[in-house]
Structure 1
Amino acid sequence: MAAKVSSSDAPGVVVVYTHKEDGRRRMHEASTHSALAARIARLKGWEYAGEFDPSSSYRLPLYFVPSDTLVPVDFARRLGIQDEHHLFGGVVPHPFIATKTITHSLLDDHADAPQGWSREFSRYTKDVVLPGYSAFSIRDAMRAGTRLLEQGAVRLKRADGIGGLGQSVARNFAQLDEQLAAIGQAELEHAGLVLELNLANIKTYSVGQVRIDGQTATYCGTQDLTYNNNGQEVYGGSQLIIARGDFDALLQLALPQEMQVAVSQARTYHAAALASYHGMFASRCNYDVARGEDEHGRIHAGVLEQSWRIGGASGAEIAALEAFHANPSLKEICASTTEVYGEPPELPAGAQVYFQGEDPDVGPLTKFSRTNPYANP
């Protein structure tokens, strides 16, 4: 598995790593990952060598930018990834930890669970997630959904759905039964399913942290929506407030109250994952935290899911690290990513484009990041 390596006093090598069996990654995603990995290499003062090739010979040390969270820990070690200093992303011991199903508890002690499931994690996070359950069988999903229907409509979320895809809403028992039958027992046993109380008027915060070469940046912000070339509403970028340092540094800023709550919830979730799933580590963490109201007008807020891999906000994350590296006295900054479908837009001053072209699947697309000074609200 591991490539041939040779020791040297010269700087190391940064490579992109892609799961060969992963057919989901589109051309614009591959190009984005490559462009951001090259910026990481410049930030580190290392060479960028493109896609990792196990048959090639590389100079040590190697630093990986994987397209996905790596599973399991032994697999990462065979690549030469021993800790967070060897990658931009994360490593977890079991597949379900990298999906939405980690977020919620099982219905009860009799519910089916995958190998490695931690009930301890759910005890840590019960107050920082939305009302809901994870299920790994039709029987348990039906029981969990029936209980949630007592409070209102239920949102069903496939474990690996991205950007709102793979979701449906059941408003009664008959719809729940129909939607579970469409998913099937095989998928639930393999990947699991999340069932959450359905919310309206949702605002989603992005909370995260990145660490490269002893430099840490922690952030909170919001996501923008746009329309793709088919007229569908999709992710359009992120607007982030980023502090040099850990969660404490971010919370020292004059953030709005709802944003402070989102940061605290994500921080609890982050610490719980590291404490509950031994062997996992991550240098890039991102948490979606939602705030909305149920059909009775009650407000709920909590972490939806995690990302321990390069993601949509990573252009802004890396731009912030570049700014902190260039100016050691800089303590906070605003950074954003923007995705524009269709004809190339007129770019704002300071924009760093990391993809612009015609993707065979999504059509013309431009993606860029930029930074602005932070000002207290």
Structure 2
Amino acid sequence: MKSADTPQDTRGAVVTLTNRPNEPEHEKVVHEQLAKRLAALQGLAFLGEYDAEASYPCPLYFVPSSTVVGTDLARKLGLEGERDLFGGVVPHAFIETKAITHPLVRPDAGSPLGWSREFSRRVTGGVLPGYSVFSLHDAREAGRRLLNEGALRIKPVRATGGRGQERVSTVQALDHALENVDEAELAQFGLVLEANLEHVTTFSVGQIRVAGRILSYYGTQRLTPDNAGDTVYGGSDLLVVDGDFDTLLDLDLPERTRLAISQAQVYDAAASDCFRNFYASRRNYDIAQGIDDRGRACSGVLEQSWRIGGASSAEVAALEAFAQGRGGKVVHASSVELYGESTVPEGATLLFRGDDAEVGFITKYALVEDYGNPE
């Protein structure tokens, strides 16, 4: 074991942990910038990227690029609870995906080790109609049931940003779509079949627990053209309170916003209660509101994120504002991602600006503004 060439700090130190198969340079740089700021907020040293061969002089606080999977790995890293990382720990890989959102198609349907039927029961009414399946047979049965009510959406559980999803409105289209499914991937991680909505608004509702504070928020995502002209994630606009979800609900909010927050709150509590050895200091939930094929208004949690994400620069900026006594108990915080040449507004915190090998020229910054009346 080699010694890390770092200053001693008995209170602990912060490190990043790259635990995704692929991480673009611009995201790696942003994660490092946020880790440095999280270190400063906690009065800790920042020691850079975690080195498994190093002998560190103090307990570590981790900023992983993805959810930490497996209790054995968590113990090896010295993780014991949410105070030890910015992100989350799950005992099994499928738990970090949208597969947990829906019930099985039958009580005796196949499911992976660690599956919680109680979780599905707890979140009923707070998620869209749908099923999680782990075999082609169950996928066909689930799809046919949902098609009786209208079009459905087939969703690979490990994809992000809507990638790989397919809208299906007939049995023939369902069978064709399932022909391309990898059965080994399906058995391990699952597949979601969910009612399709139109005219959708997607809310982000989340909470971070860092540096002795709990911050909760709701917001929406923005889209922007990338350097190829495709529409991609362009950042998040959040309304953040210094407090828990109930503190957020104490604000004067529109009813549809209150519904999204309440549904996220139920989902969050169910995850904590139903999945043993799960914990997270960063919790984010996407809630879709729209119209189904029969013209009915629907609202439900789509999926969770228990890892550093696109909105995290806004989360950390809000945390800094509250720690410094700026903005009272409520602030607006935004994360912004722009492609090509762009101008960074005065007062923003620049996180990355330059050419990235995967996406081209990109600028990423965060901005905190005084609280006004929410829309």
Asked if 1:363 is matched to 2:360, the reply is yes
1:28 and 1:9, CA in 2 relative to 1: closer, same or farther beyond 3 A?
closer
Residues 329 and 292 (structure 1), Cα distance of their counterparts in 2 relative to 1, 3 Å cut: closer
Residues 334 and 372, structure 1, Cα contact 8 Å, conserved in 2: yes
Whole-Å Cα distance in 2 between the matches of residues 287 and 26 of structure 1? 23
1:252-277 residue CA offsets vs partner (Å, 9 max, x unmatched) = 11121111110000000000000000
Preserved contact between residue 146 and residue 152 of structure 2 (Cα < 8 Å)? yes
- In structure 2, the partner of 1:17 is 17
CA distances 1:267-290 after superposition (whole Å, capped 9, x unpaired): 000000000001111000000001
What's the CA shift for 1:111?
1.0
- How many residue pairs are counted as aligned between the two chains? 374
- Asked whether the 8 Å contact 2:331–2:368 carries over to 1, the reply is yes
Matches within 5 A, 1:246-265: 246-265=244-263
In 2: Cα distance, 1:328 partner to 1:28 partner: 29
Larger deviation: 10-19 or 231-240? 10-19
**Offset at residue 27 of structure 1 (A):** 1.2
The answer on whether the counterparts of 2:203 and 2:220 sit within 8 Å (CA) in structure 1 is: yes
Structure 2 Cα separation of the partners of residues 4 and 115 of structure 1: 38
Cα distance between partner residues in 1 of 2:307 and 2:291 = 30
- Is contact 1:88–1:284 with CA below 8 Å preserved after alignment? yes
Question: Which residue, 91, 94, 97 being the options, matches 1:93?
Answer: 91
Matched, 1:193 2:184: no
Determine which of 185, 203, 206 is the counterpart of 1:205: 203
Instruction: Please name the residue that 1:351 is paired with.
Output: 348
Q: Residue 7 of structure 1 contacts residue 61 of structure 1 at CA under 8 Å; is this kept in 2?
A: no
Across the aligned residues of Structure 1 and Structure 2, the Cα RMSD in angstroms comes to 1.9
- Partner of residue 292 from structure 1, selected from 264, 283, 290: 290
1:221 to 219, 227, 250: 219
TM norm structure 1: 0.96
Q: Which runs of 4+ in 1 moved over 2 A?
A: 1-12
CA distance in 2 between counterparts of 1:2 and 1:87 reads 24
Looking at structure 2, the residues matched to 75 and 309 of structure 1 have their Cα atoms a distance apart, in angstroms, of 16
Task: Tell me the CA shift for residue 59 of structure 1.
Answer: 2.6
| CA distance, structure 1, for counterparts of residue 73 and residue 235 of structure 2 | 32
What is the CA distance between 1:24 and its match in structure 2? Answer: 2.7
Is the partner of 2:143 in helix, strand or coil?
helix
Query: Separation in 1 of the partners of 2:3 and 2:24?
Result: 26
Bigger mean CA deviation after superposition, 279-288 or 28-37:
28-37
Aligned-pair distance for 1:220? 0.3
Match of 1:335 in 2: 333
- Give the C-alpha shift of residue 296 in structure 1: 2.1
Query: Is 1:124 equivalent to 2:112 in the alignment?
Result: no
CA shift, 1:156, in A, is 0.4
Map of 2:162 onto structure 1: 164
| Deviation of 1:223 (Å) | 0.6
Alignment partner of 1:59: what SS? coil
Q: Provide, for residues 97-131 of structure 1, a one-character-per-residue CA deviation record: whole Å limited to 9, x for no partner.
A: 00110111111112110111000000100110011
Match of 1:68 in 2: 66
Q: Report whether the alignment pairs 1:312 with 2:319.
A: no
SS at match of 2:179: helix
For residues 4-55 of structure 1, the C-alpha deviation after alignment (integer angstroms, 9 at most, x for no partner) is: 8999664421000112xx3331111111111111111111121111110011
The alignment-based identity, stated in percent, is 50
Deviation digits for residues 266-320 of structure 1 (CA, Å, limit 9, x no counterpart): 0000000000001111000000001011122111100000000000000000001
CA distance in 1, matches of 2:180, 2:140: 13
Residue of structure 2 in register with 1:233 after alignment:
231
Return the letter of the residue paired with 1:355. Answer: F
Match of 2:371 in 1: 374
The structure-2 alpha-carbon separation of the partners of 1:94 and 1:150, relative to structure 1 and needing over 3 Å to count, comes to same
> Where does residue 276 of structure 1 map in the other structure?
274
**Distance in 2 (alpha carbons) for counterparts of 1:224 and 1:288:** 13
Superposition deviation, residue 57 in structure 1? 2.6
Instruction: State the one-letter code of the partner of 1:34.
Output: E
SS in 2 for 1:300: strand
The DSSP-based 3-state class of the residue aligned with 2:295 is coil
SS in 2 for 1:182: coil
Deviation at 1:376, TM superposition (A): 2.6
Amino acid at match of 1:18: T
TM-score of the superposed pair, with normalisation by structure 2: 0.96
CA apart distance, 1:161: 0.7
**Kept in 2: contact 1:90–1:282 (CA 8 A):** yes
Distance 2:359 2:345 in 1: 23
